[in-house]
Chains A and B, each alone.
Chain A
Amino acid sequence: MRAPPMTIATSHRLSELDVLESEAIHIIREVVAEFERPVLLFSGGKDSVVVLHLAAKAFWPGKIPFSLLHVDTGHNFPEVLEFRDKTVAAHGVRLTVAKVEDYIADGRLAERADGTRNPLQTLPLLDAIAAGRHDAVFGGARRDEDKARAKERILSLRDEFGQWDPRNQRPELWNLYNGRHTVGQHVRAFPISNWTELNVWRYIERENIELPPLYYAHEREVYRRDDMWRAVSPVSPARADETIELRTVRYRTVGDMSCTGAVDSAAVSVSDVVREVGVSTITERGATRADDRISEAAMEDRKKEGYF
């Protein structure tokens, strides 16, 4: 977006991506206008990178008028953290990092038996929201990710415990968002609710958005667990009965190394990925997330407890 302004002619019909982009920018601007202290959850994953890109477009030529927050599980991929910091610096925004490790170190949280730290993010997240006095929290969640997320509003009211009450959501009419809340409550805002994984990738392609390298095919030492390729790393070592192989893989989501799997892929460029996602026969989370397999309603249960 550093190019000097150029002039283009328009036709009277917006493409799907343009409609979604305009909707997302409208949501981001509404939240900034109506709330005192919004913050964006930013992990360096593709969805949060897209929301950050949209925020930059929404306020051009000004800077993004809010800060970023990352809940670091301590199990993140080092290349994603590096990318996160580089991207934050390029946009000139401030990033706060809440660390699950700190909570485990002083006993506020206990490591789970299965080693997964995704569910442990909720407490540091809620503390960080309270400490930052944030009344609105942007997230990159999409409704096509999960059947519980498919039910969530674009502006989702949370109580002081961050809890989502799916039986009692506020009506959301037209594009008139009602962000009013009482003391202690806050709102989660999901500007790309209506985007699919394919929309996200087509947008990344169209806008030439940079992502962490592990979204593209690369060689990695992996082993098979729960029907997924898991990376060999200090936090996710292979067990004695698991065979380590060198394979060409990529990640469809990036989260906690302890519960995120890779998929076999030869997609080295963004256009390869667009093609691959377009013909994929398995959903993004189905292919890559062990934490969603804990139970049939794993996501719903986490969200009720304040997860994003």
Chain B
Amino acid sequence: MTLTIDPQASTENDIVAAPEGTLFRFATAGSVDDGKSTLVGRLLHDSKAILADQLEAVTRTSTERGFGGESGGIDFALLTDGLRAEREQGITIDVAYRYFATPARSFILADCPGHVQYTRNMVTGATTADAVIMLIDARKGVLEQTRRHLSVVALLRVPHVIVAVNKIDLLDYDEAAYREVEASVRLITAELGIPEVLVIPVSALVGDNVVDRSERTPWYAGPSLLELLETLSVIDDLDASGRASEAFRLPVQLVLRPQGSVVVAPELADSYRDYRAYAGQVASGSIKVGDTVSVEPGGGTSTVTGIDFAGVSLDEAFAPQSVALQLADNLDIARGAIIAALDTLPPLTRTLEADLFWLDPRPLAPSARVLVKFGTTVVQALISEVTGRLDLTTLGVEPATNLAVNDIGQASIRLSRDLPVERYVQNRRSGAFLVIHPQDGATLAAGIVTAPGEPTRAGDGSGAGSDVSP
């Protein structure tokens, strides 16, 4: 393999060098062996995102492992199943991240495992996704793990859900068989409250409707999978009115206060002697210089006097920009504080109701003491009561008193200090949290707030209580 390239020459491979565009993140989901990794490999291959040496390596390994029998062929799953154990067992264990671009946009794809033992890794892949592609083996239809993943996707409110009814080649491209699966999917997604579901018949192995529309499914008039992915909207995009759909929030990561030890030109150093700015990533919404903001804890208000980004002054910042805000007043603001659009923060509370995705092999103990991390705040908490668990067969909530690994449950949580707790449906960044083991630091669960508790009375020591240093 020799790489000889004349940088001036244009080639047919220009697709890899698409102009810098927007970034779209998607993840796969679905039961084990439904064909997620094969689909992803097919998508990468057919959109010409596989380079020669990768293809050669995968072809060699496919042959060595006897894929496709006598006739050979490429096991596209090997493009993402890169770990020794994954190749030996023929399953995906942990998320593989792959990157590709078309002239329309750039993609970050997370190929997730289907095996129930690795549900925690599927949740990992789904939390950052703009879209999830749910695979279903057309022969098997909706399985328990399909329901579990769909429930995760529904509760996380992943903006776009695509259901790929796979292995349609094994059913001779039979429309009736496809319609049957499609109908059961629509029933379940409606029950789960997933607003819009796009269903596509595909064969990951053969490539039908993956990048190009297939002639073997004349009864399907919709777009190919890639066509869909190229046109769906991105989470952080603002709504049509041009305003942020969620209110401005910036969790403070740290305070920039260089106290004279600055990197600016010497003649400017004096003007930075008293520099103080609050660094963080805009979690939602947007903010302009001159806007008034509320700050918690403390309940103070102030005016934004500057939005800095590494020596550049911006007049506006919006999600997901990392910036540093200067305020007119010297409030007591440290890591863990939230700067928000004026009067948009909910009242402070010490209790909340949440959905929990239990990810740790150790079951949730009754009245467990844990840590929870919201944004940049970590506080002690008590899971005071488990109130229910999702029954994956009926998709209803059944009574429960504890949670085991892979359960999706409901719980009441008490916090050791007042926080402006927000519902996840109102603000997906502020309403999401981690449940952490206080001793060994393991991430026990992913949580989303379904209802903040009673507001704590104003003036009864908001902000007091024990905070946890990192």
Interface positions of A (Cβ within 8 A of B): 1-10, 12-23, 25-26, 29-30, 32-35, 56-63, 92, 143-144, 146-148, 150-151, 166-167, 169-176, 178-182, 193-194, 196, 198, 202, 227, 263-267, 272-273, 275-283, 286-287, 296-297, 300
Contacts and interface: CB of A to CB of B under 8 A. Distances in A.
A147 B82 contact: yes
Contact of B322 (A22, A171, A173, A287): A22
A175 B441 contact: no
B367 interface: no
Given A180-B441, A181-B441, 16 more contacts: A5-B311, A13-B238, A26-B280, A26-B281, A34-B470, A59-B256, A59-B279, A171-B123, A171-B443, A227-B2, A264-B5, A275-B7, A275-B17, A281-B51, A287-B3, A300-B82
B253 A61 contact: no
B262 interface: yes
B97 A194 contact: yes
B54 A12 contact: no
Contacts of A61: 256, 258, 262-264, 272, 275, 311
Contacts of B308: 5, 60
B440 interface: yes
A148 B440 contact: no
A52 to B, nearest CB: 13
A271 to B, nearest CB: 8
Contacts of B4: 264
B321 A1 contact: no
B261 to A, nearest CB: 6
* A4, A13, A30, A62: most-surrounded residue (chain B CB, <10 A): A62
B470 A35 contact: yes
Contacts of A167: 83, 85, 93-94
B23 interface: yes
Nearest to B438: A180
Contact of B254 (A29, A56, A174): A29
A76 to B, nearest CB: 23
Contact of A1 (B52, B281, B310, B446): B310
Given A279-B13, A286-B1, A144 B124 contact: no
21 contacts: A8-B312, A13-B238, A22-B281, A22-B320, A29-B253, A61-B258, A61-B264, A62-B257, A147-B79, A151-B94, A166-B94, A174-B429, A178-B441, A194-B108, A267-B7, A273-B7, A277-B17, A280-B51, A296-B57, A296-B61, A300-B84
Interface string B278-297: 01110000100000000000
A56 B310 contact: yes
A304 to B, nearest CB: 9
Contact of B261 (A60, A62, A277, A297): A62
Contact of A175 (B52, B120, B128): B128
Contact of B7 (A10, A266, A283): A266
B19 to A, nearest CB: 10
Contact of A282 (B3, B98, B238): B3
Given A6-B313, A194-B97, A198-B17, A14 B321 contact: yes
Contacts of A13: 22, 237-238
Contacts, number: 273
Interface string B187-215: 00000000000000000000000000000
Interface residues of B, number: 100
B6 A266 contact: yes
Contact of A279 (B17, B85, B470): B17
Interface in B1-45: 1-11, 13-14, 16-17, 20-23
A198 B313 CA distance: 28
Contacts of B96: 147, 150-151
B7 A33 contact: no
Nearest to B5: A276
* A29, A196, A297: most-surrounded residue (chain B CB, <10 A): A29
Contact of A150 (B93, B98, B320, B470): B98
A287 B3 CA distance: 7
Nearest to A25: B322
B359 A171 contact: yes
Interface in B245-264: 253-254, 256-258, 261-264
B335 interface: yes
B311 A22 contact: no
Contact of B98 (A144, A263, A280): A144
B189 to A, nearest CB: 23
Nearest to B17: A278
B17 A60 contact: no
B387 to A, nearest CB: 22
* A3, A16, A166, A170: most-surrounded residue (chain B CB, <10 A): A16
B121 A171 contact: yes
Contact of B20 (A7, A60, A202): A202
B317 A286 contact: no
A266 B3 CA distance: 11
* B20, B51, B258, B310: most-surrounded residue (chain A CB, <10 A): B310
Contacts of A282: 1, 3, 51-53
A26 B282 CA distance: 10
B178 interface: no
Contacts of B433: 176
A287 B52 CA distance: 10
Nearest to A32: B254
B436 interface: yes
A180 B442 CA distance: 7
A263 B280 CA distance: 41
Interface string B359-380: 1000000000001010110000
A245 B235 CA distance: 53
